[in-house]
Every structure is written in C-alpha cells, then in structure tokens.
Amino acid sequence: MIKAKKSLSQNFLIDKNICKKIIKQTHIKNKNILEIGPGYGFMTDIILENNPNKIILIEKDSNLVNILKKKYKNKNKVEVIEEDILKFNLKKYKDLILISNLPYNISTKIILYLFNFNLNIREMILMLQKEVALKFDYNLANMNKYKFMTKTVSNFERCFDVSRKVFIPKPKITSTVVKFKFINKKVDFDKANNFSKLIFKNIRKKIHNNLKIKLENNLLNKRISQLSIEDLFEIYDLF
Ligand code: SAH
C-alpha cells in the first residue's frame, strides 16, 4: 500500500514508461548514481536495470528507509542513506549522476544547494514543478538569480513535461523533467552571489545604478528586463 506524507512532499511516480523516459536522458551504465528521495524505489528499479556501477539513495523518511533497506538487502550496488539532502555533503564524490523526482516543497532550495557541488556532479536529471523549471531556464526572457546561477555552473535543458495523472497522490500542477550538465570548472561563488544580489536588487533601475559601476558600455544603461543571458555574462565580466 502506498502511503504519502504531505510534509515531505511525497508524490510517487507510478508510470514505468515515464521512469524509462527520464533515465534515457542520461547514461547509467557503469556510472555512480545518486538518487534523492527514492520513495518506494520505483525509479531505482529502472536505474538498476540499466547496470550502474553503484546507486546511493538519500531518503529522509525513516519508514521508507526501512522499506528500501529490506528491498535492496541483496543488492550490493545499492547504498541506502537516511539523510536530509540539504545536509548531505557531496564533496567526496566525483563524476556523479544525480537523478530525482524532487520533493516539490523544497525543489528550488535543493537545486541551489547542489550547485555548490558542481565539481562533484557530472549531470543531474530532475523532475520538478513546470513553473520552477521555467524559472531556471536561462533561454527564456526575464533574467533572475536562478537563471544566472544555472548558467554559471551548467548547461541547462528542459526535456519534457509530465502530466499530474502519473503520480500518487496527484500533485496540483504539471511537472517538467530538466537536465543540468555541469561545467567542470572552479566557480567563485562569493563573486557570483555578490553580483546577483546587486544586479537583481531593483529591477526597475538601470543596471549601472544597481551595480554602481561607471564604464562606457551600452548594456549598463539598460534594465534587467532588456537583457539576455549573454548580456548578463558580458556585464559580469566587467564586474
Ligand atoms: N522518487 C520517488 C518519490 C518522489 S516524492 C518516486 O518518484 O516515486 C519525494 C521523495 O523525497 C519522498 O520519498 C520524500 O520522502 C523524499 N524527501 C522529502 N524531503 C527530503 C529531503 N530533504 N531529503 C531527502 N529526501 C527527501
């Protein structure tokens, strides 16, 4: 029987074909996979069919952890860890592939947290609320700190939408599967955070007023709403 806790944003994906379509967005074979919030392990089973080297499961719900430990006790590829992903340190890993149907109440927070491990993760395939997926898509107009940070650490792609009907219980909204392919370079997060705090501070002001830089560059006379992601990074280079 499937029981769901609202406080942990549990919406279990019950459609095998959708699970398969998600897994197809990456290469599993011989890779180390980390799955956030595996629930009852529906997606985990499909990942296992694709012959990973190892799967690490991070699940916060201790009831589910017990179920998962029993379910996979004979599978030495599977490691079940009872932990809050927002407290889990990924620094000791390299080249991880992250896969998750995220807990929607904290999906933005989790993504921003994971950006700190851009050197440890190769790519992540995540299911999230469509509205949140759009917020991170730097190819769409109206720049914000999420789009800026996404482009700082990764190449981002929206893969496909998923109907609310394939979950138990059904969420209120449509979901989207997205892919972040991390850029393997050291990021100056202090500089990036500082820049984003200033430039998005007052979206009605012209850029040079927000950033307080006086240089001859036309972009600085514009407002945030007029910038593309390329413009934003041209300004970042001046900062
Ligand atoms: N992947 C499963 C479940 C998705 S629902 C499926 O598709 O069926 C979200 C899952 O994340 C639940 O299992 C929930 O218990 C877990 N979860 C919620 N908050 C979490 C956190 N902070 N850290 C790790 N797991 C969490």
Nearest-CA residue for atom 6 of ligand 1: 12
* Cα 37 to ligand 1 centroid, rounded to whole Å: 3
The model's confidence at residue 2, banded by pLDDT at 50, 70 and 90, is confident
The CA-to-CA distance between both ends of the chain, in Å, stands at 55
* Cα 103 to ligand 1 centroid, rounded to whole Å: 5
Contacts of 61 (CB under 8 A, 6+ apart): 5, 8, 10
* Cα 102 to ligand 1 centroid, rounded to whole Å: 6
Question: Which residues line ligand 1 at a C-beta cut-off of 6 Å?
Answer: 8-13, 36-39, 42-43, 58-61, 64, 84-86, 101, 103
Res 4 pLDDT > 90: yes
What the block records as the tokens of 92 is 């000791």
Nearest-CA residue for atom 20 of ligand 1: 60
Q: What is the pLDDT of residues 54-98, one digit of tens each?
A: 999 999 999 999 999 999 999 999 999 999 999 999 999 999 999
Res 131 pLDDT > 80: yes
Res 1 pLDDT > 80: no
Percent of the chain at pLDDT exceeding 70: 100
Atom of ligand 1 nearest to the CA of 12: 8
pLDDT at 67: 97
Which letter does DSSP use for residue 158 in this model? E
| Helix (H/G/I), strand (E/B), else coil: 147 | helix
* Cα 10 to ligand 1 centroid, rounded to whole Å: 6
The model's confidence at residue 215, banded by pLDDT at 50, 70 and 90, is confident
- Average pLDDT of the segment spanning 121-140: 98
Domain edges within the chain: 10-186, 190-236
CATH 3.40.190.10: does it fit domain 10-186?
Answer: no
